Amino acid sequence: MSRSLPSQGKLSDLITKELETMMIEGLLKPGDRLPPERELAERFDVSRPSLREAIQNLKAKGMVVSRQGGGNYISEDLGSDLRDPLLQAMSTHPEFRYDLLEFRDAMEGISTYYAAIRSTDEDKEKLTKSYNDLIEANKQKNPALEAKLDAAFHLTIAECAHNAVMLHTMRALFQMLAQSIAANLDYLFQHSEARGKVMEQHTAIYQAIMDSDPQAAKNAIHSHLSYVEDILLEVSRLESRRQRALKQANLLR
């Protein structure tokens, strides 16, 4: 698909801005290989020297890297400033799980709402694939795979919302989100009915977006995250009682 460039400014700078826009919009993602020079030159209707200069601009900014064996790639570190070790530690400390759930309720409530309004047919195809992958992992009862695909499902929803700030915030927090989901599922799946319940909730979120029903989508994500919080609190209370019982038993010995 060709993209027209603005008519004013140095050509290589215009190409640079256009490629940056494609990254911001999520059309080019961290780790993606840039199309061959010839293809990009045809897409933008520019000369290859101008294109090469634009790519050098992006390399100087750390947005594009060259890899051994050839090819230019979007930097894996793009948008990763929130991947701080302290933030990653938060996802494994129980007392901060509720803060993250609260943040997710606010952030994903908005992204799910807009995904239902703005998602294109192509977006819905991607979301359907992500949803079907999650169903298969759920059937296999593989918690590690479920956690990974659960996080990917929520990230795909953010892509469908077509809000660059929300998308890159979610991307930057993806590793933290995946770790948190994995820890949450460890607790949730202590309840025999939780696996099926969580999948039902994901189905409700998916269906609301496919039906282009923003309020139903927002309600569905809120119900899902509220359920997760309720189960975590219940498990925490049970663990606290168990610890007290162990202490009492030790005192009576």
pLDDT tens digit sequence for 118-139 = 999 999 999 999 999 999 998 9
How many helices (H) and strands (E) would you count in the chain?
Answer: 11, 2
* CA 89 – CA 96 distance, rounded (Å): 9
Q: 199-214 pLDDT, tens per residue? A: 999 999 999 999 999 9
Per-residue pLDDT for 1 more than 50?
Answer: no
- Band (pLDDT 50/70/90 cuts) for residue 81 is low
Which helix (H) or strand (E) covers residue 102, if one does?
Answer: helix 94-118
Residues 86-95: tens digit of each pLDDT: 555 565 566 6
Q: Decide: helix, strand or coil at residue 5.
A: coil
* Mean residue pLDDT across the chain: 84
Which helix (H) or strand (E) segment holds residue 94: the answer is helix 94-118
Region for 79 from its dihedrals, namely left if φ exceeds 0, alpha if ψ lies in -120 to 50, beta otherwise: left
Distance from the Cα of residue 192 to its chain's centroid:
27
Give yes or no for a contact between 170 and 140, defined as CB atoms under 8 angstroms apart. Answer: no
**DSSP of 52-76:** HHHHHHHHHTTSEEE-TTS-EEE-T
Neighbours of 60 (CB within 10 A): 10
pLDDT band at 109 (very low <50, low <70, confident <90, very high): very high
- If you average pLDDT over residues 36-57, what whole number do you get? 91
By residue count, the chain amounts to: 253
* Residue position matching structure tokens 């119900």: 223
Residues 6+ apart with CB under 8 A from 107: 166, 169, 170
**Token pair in block for residue 222:** 């809120």
